[in-house]
Amino acid sequence: MSNRLAGDHVFEALANPYRRRLLFALFDQNLQSDEHLHPLTLLSDGEGSDDPEAVHVKLDHCHLPKLAGMGVIEWDREAGAVSKGPEWGEIAPLLQLLSDHRDELPDEWVSGPGQ
């Protein structure tokens, strides 16, 4: 494990509901290292009333670049695909901990507000 993704950055990655939902979706998918998924597909299960086009814009211009910059995900902008990045191992233990205790935590901590 590297120290590239310090504690504050781990919490920053999880601070936004879209990023949190995306990270938990990737975590729950248990992807192999060479598999990629479309971000809107990952979020579709808990999408609720969010406008898909607005979500796409937010993901493309804010959340995916931030997570990719942290190294948590790899993002192929042209293909519109994401996969676990080289720093995934830095955030995975916290995702595991939160996942293991989902039923004990407020819903928005794992799925975001209104989910």
Domain positions in the chain are 7-103
pLDDT greater at residue 14 or residue 33: 14
CATH second-level architecture of 7-103? Orthogonal Bundle (1.10)
CA distance 1 to 87: 8
Q: Which residues contact 41 (CB under 8 A, 6 or more apart)?
A: none
Helices (H), 5-115: 7-15, 17-29, 39-43, 52-58, 64-70, 88-100, 107-110
What is the value of pTM for the model shown?
0.77
CB–CB of 25/97 below 8 Å? no
Assign 31 a pLDDT band (cuts: 50, 70, 90). Answer: low
CB–CB of 62/55 below 8 Å? no
Kindly tell me if the per-residue pLDDT of 88 is higher than 90: yes
Burial of 49 (C-beta count, 10 Å sphere; 0-12/13-18/19+): exposed
CA distance 63 to 11: 14
Mean pLDDT of 45-59: 69
